[in-house]
Amino acid sequence: MFEGIIAIQSNAIALKDGKVMMNKNEDGSLSLPGRAVFENENPEEVCLKRLQEGAKIIKPLSPKISWENIGSLNFPVVSLNYLTEADYV
Q: What is the pTM of this model?
A: 0.72
CATH of 7-85, one of 3.30.70.270, 3.20.80.10, 3.20.20.80, 3.90.79.10: 3.90.79.10
pLDDT given for residue 27 in this prediction: 93
DSSP structural state of residue 15: E
Do residues 67 and 7 lie in contact, with contact meaning Cβ atoms separated by under 8 Å? Answer: no
pLDDT given for residue 28 in this prediction: 92
Do residues 13 and 80 lie in contact, with contact meaning Cβ atoms separated by under 8 Å? Answer: no
User: Average pLDDT in the 7-31 region?
Assistant: 87
Do residues 84 and 14 lie in contact, with contact meaning Cβ atoms separated by under 8 Å? Answer: yes
User: Average pLDDT in the 66-88 region?
Assistant: 82
- The whole-chain average pLDDT of the chain stands at 84
Per-residue pLDDT tens digits for 57-75: 889 999 999 888 877 778 8
pLDDT score of 2 more than 70: no
pLDDT given for residue 80 in this prediction: 92
The contacts found for 20-27 with CB under 8 angstroms, 24 or more apart, are 21/86, 21/88
